[in-house]
Amino acid sequence: LWNGALATKDPKKVAARYSKEGVLLPTVSDTPRTDYPGIVDYFTNFLKLEPQGEIESGNIIIGTNWAQDAGIYEFTMGATGAKVKGRYTFVYVFEDGEWKISQHHSSVMPEGTNPKAITEEEVKNLFQLWNS
Protein backbone atom coordinates (compact mmCIF):
# COMPACT_ATOMS: atom_id res chain seq x y z
CA LEU A 1 0.00 0.00 0.00
CA TRP A 2 2.81 2.42 0.84
CA ASN A 3 4.73 1.81 -2.40
CA GLY A 4 1.46 2.22 -4.30
CA ALA A 5 0.90 5.54 -2.55
CA LEU A 6 4.40 6.62 -3.64
CA ALA A 7 3.45 5.86 -7.25
CA THR A 8 0.60 8.41 -7.08
CA LYS A 9 3.22 11.17 -6.54
CA ASP A 10 0.73 12.73 -4.11
CA PRO A 11 2.35 13.53 -0.73
CA LYS A 12 -1.05 13.66 0.99
CA LYS A 13 -1.89 10.13 -0.16
CA VAL A 14 1.46 8.88 1.13
CA ALA A 15 1.02 10.70 4.45
CA ALA A 16 -2.46 9.18 4.77
CA ARG A 17 -0.79 5.74 5.07
CA TYR A 18 0.63 6.86 8.46
CA SER A 19 -1.27 6.56 11.73
CA LYS A 20 -2.62 9.59 13.57
CA GLU A 21 0.50 9.67 15.74
CA GLY A 22 2.86 8.25 13.14
CA VAL A 23 6.60 8.88 13.27
CA LEU A 24 8.79 9.05 10.17
CA LEU A 25 12.57 9.07 10.51
CA PRO A 26 13.31 9.59 6.81
CA THR A 27 16.19 8.59 4.59
CA VAL A 28 17.15 11.95 3.14
CA SER A 29 16.34 14.38 5.95
CA ASP A 30 17.74 14.96 9.42
CA THR A 31 14.32 16.11 10.67
CA PRO A 32 12.05 13.57 12.39
CA ARG A 33 8.49 13.90 11.11
CA THR A 34 5.98 13.37 13.92
CA ASP A 35 2.74 14.72 12.49
CA TYR A 36 0.74 14.73 9.28
CA PRO A 37 1.96 18.16 8.04
CA GLY A 38 5.59 17.14 8.64
CA ILE A 39 5.15 13.86 6.77
CA VAL A 40 3.45 15.68 3.87
CA ASP A 41 6.33 18.17 3.80
CA TYR A 42 8.94 15.40 3.56
CA PHE A 43 7.14 13.57 0.76
CA THR A 44 6.46 16.79 -1.16
CA ASN A 45 10.18 16.93 -1.88
CA PHE A 46 11.00 13.20 -1.92
CA LEU A 47 8.31 12.38 -4.48
CA LYS A 48 9.92 14.75 -6.99
CA LEU A 49 12.52 12.00 -7.41
CA GLU A 50 9.75 9.57 -8.50
CA PRO A 51 10.86 6.81 -6.11
CA GLN A 52 9.74 3.21 -6.38
CA GLY A 53 10.91 0.75 -3.76
CA GLU A 54 11.54 -2.96 -3.79
CA ILE A 55 12.07 -5.00 -0.64
CA GLU A 56 15.17 -7.19 -0.93
CA SER A 57 14.85 -8.88 2.46
CA GLY A 58 12.70 -8.47 5.51
CA ASN A 59 11.94 -9.88 8.91
CA ILE A 60 8.27 -9.78 9.89
CA ILE A 61 6.81 -10.05 13.39
CA ILE A 62 3.04 -10.12 13.89
CA GLY A 63 1.15 -9.23 17.06
CA THR A 64 -2.44 -8.38 17.96
CA ASN A 65 -3.37 -5.26 15.97
CA TRP A 66 0.26 -4.54 15.14
CA ALA A 67 2.97 -5.87 12.86
CA GLN A 68 6.61 -5.06 12.25
CA ASP A 69 8.67 -5.39 9.09
CA ALA A 70 12.39 -4.61 9.15
CA GLY A 71 14.93 -5.24 6.43
CA ILE A 72 16.64 -3.93 3.33
CA TYR A 73 14.99 -2.15 0.42
CA GLU A 74 16.19 -0.43 -2.71
CA PHE A 75 14.69 2.59 -4.36
CA THR A 76 14.98 3.42 -8.02
CA MET A 77 14.51 7.13 -8.61
CA GLY A 78 12.50 7.45 -11.80
CA ALA A 79 13.55 11.07 -12.27
CA THR A 80 17.27 10.25 -12.39
CA GLY A 81 17.63 6.46 -12.62
CA ALA A 82 19.70 6.51 -9.42
CA LYS A 83 19.41 3.56 -7.06
CA VAL A 84 19.53 3.93 -3.29
CA LYS A 85 19.74 0.92 -0.98
CA GLY A 86 18.59 1.41 2.58
CA ARG A 87 17.63 -0.22 5.83
CA TYR A 88 14.03 0.12 6.93
CA THR A 89 11.72 -0.57 9.82
CA PHE A 90 7.96 -0.26 9.57
CA VAL A 91 5.71 -0.75 12.58
CA TYR A 92 2.07 -1.04 11.55
CA VAL A 93 -1.02 -0.61 13.74
CA PHE A 94 -4.63 -1.41 12.99
CA GLU A 95 -6.32 1.98 13.33
CA ASP A 96 -9.89 2.91 12.40
CA GLY A 97 -10.35 -0.31 10.44
CA GLU A 98 -7.13 0.03 8.39
CA TRP A 99 -3.47 -0.88 8.68
CA LYS A 100 -1.43 2.29 9.14
CA ILE A 101 2.28 3.01 9.60
CA SER A 102 2.94 3.90 13.22
CA GLN A 103 6.72 4.11 12.96
CA HIS A 104 8.92 4.23 9.89
CA HIS A 105 12.68 4.46 10.02
CA SER A 106 14.79 4.50 6.88
CA SER A 107 18.50 5.04 6.44
CA VAL A 108 20.96 4.70 3.61
CA MET A 109 23.23 1.68 3.91
CA PRO A 110 26.47 2.81 5.53
CA GLU A 111 28.69 0.56 3.42
CA GLY A 112 29.91 2.20 0.27
CA THR A 113 28.49 5.62 1.03
CA ASN A 114 31.92 7.23 1.43
CA PRO A 115 34.24 7.13 -1.56
CA LYS A 116 37.52 5.37 -0.92
CA ALA A 117 40.57 7.53 -1.46
CA ILE A 118 42.89 6.37 -4.21
CA THR A 119 46.32 7.62 -5.18
CA GLU A 120 47.46 8.42 -8.69
CA GLU A 121 49.85 5.46 -8.56
CA GLU A 122 46.99 3.11 -7.59
CA VAL A 123 44.97 4.38 -10.54
CA LYS A 124 47.87 3.66 -12.89
CA ASN A 125 48.12 0.14 -11.44
CA LEU A 126 44.42 -0.49 -12.16
CA PHE A 127 45.37 -0.80 -15.81
CA GLN A 128 47.24 -3.98 -14.92
CA LEU A 129 43.98 -5.55 -13.72
CA TRP A 130 42.59 -5.13 -17.22
CA ASN A 131 45.85 -5.95 -18.97
CA SER A 132 46.47 -9.21 -17.10
Residue 2 and residue 14 in contact, taking contact as beta carbons nearer than 8 Å: yes
- What is the model's pTM? 0.79
CB 7 within 8 A of CB 52: yes
Q: Identify the DSSP state of 31.
A: S
Q: Angle at the Cα of 12 (from 70 to 31), degrees rounded to 5?
A: 55
Local confidence band at 114 (pLDDT 50, 70, 90 cut-offs): low
Pairwise pLDDT comparison (9 vs 127), residue with the higher score: 9
pLDDT, one tens digit per residue, over 42-89 is 999 999 999 999 999 999 999 999 999 999 999 999 999 999 899 999
Helix (H) or strand (E) holding 96: none
CA distance 16 to 28: 20
